[in-house]
Amino acid sequence: MLNSILPNCSVKILLVGIFMMLVFSVAQAESSATVSLDESIQLLKQDVIALNRDLFILEEELLYPANTQLAVFVSLDVGEFFKLDSVQLKVDGKAVSNYLYTQREVDALHRGGIQRLYMGNLKAGEHEIVAIYTGVGPKGRDYRRGASLVINKSLGAKYVELKIVDNPSSEQPDFSIREWE
């Protein structure tokens, strides 16, 4: 009787073992298929990001060719005597940019950040750039100041910085516009 039971148990154990190996191999195949699908999705995402970056660069080059490009940046040094609210930029008397700042953006400028306020095309020749700053000055007074600069645009990109600097001797802010070389 023991001989008749033992072969059945061996066969059952053998069948269970084979079944477990099949289940394990199917699970492993599904896992590798899932991993391969996940890897494929990640590679596809990376390709889309690279393509998006290339398209952005191409768009910038087409819209703003280097020989006619004008870029205007804003920077803020210290900021104890002036709290920036907005900047209006005019080129040759035409308003090209109006920007209203959030507290977070002003904080970033205080920490040394530089903001690109405007990017556009400009023909070669003389041009007047006017920046009008609005904010709160010393002793909580409303402040509206302007600064201007006449630039000579030649072939190639032109970079201009609108800079707000505290003047400790007069306890007033200084507003300047300068060209980057």
At 128-150, the pLDDT tens digits run 999 999 999 888 889 899 999 99
Q: What separation in angstroms does the CA of 44 have from each of 34, 57, 58, 163? A: 15, 20, 21, 43
SS3 state of residue 82: coil
pLDDT bucket at 4, cuts 50 / 70 / 90: very low
Could you tell me the two tokens for 127?
């041009």
pLDDT digits over 59-118, tens only? 877 777 777 889 999 999 876 788 899 999 999 999 999 999 999 999 999 898 999 999
133 C-beta neighbours (distance < 10 Å), count: 21
Residue 139, Ramachandran bin (φ over 0: left; ψ between -120 and 50: alpha; else beta):
left
CA-only gyration radius of the chain, Å? 33
5 pLDDT higher than 50: no
pLDDT bucket at 6, cuts 50 / 70 / 90: very low
Between these two residues, 9 and 86, which has the higher pLDDT value?
86
Output the CA angle 134-88-162, nearest 5 degrees: 85
SS3 state of residue 174: strand
pLDDT bucket at 1, cuts 50 / 70 / 90: very low
Tokens 């953006």 correspond to 105
Residue 53, Ramachandran bin (φ over 0: left; ψ between -120 and 50: alpha; else beta):
alpha
pLDDT score at 157: 87
Task: Please state which of the ranges 34-38, 47-51, 130-134 shows the lowest mean pLDDT.
Answer: 34-38
* N-terminal to C-terminal alpha carbon distance within the chain: 101
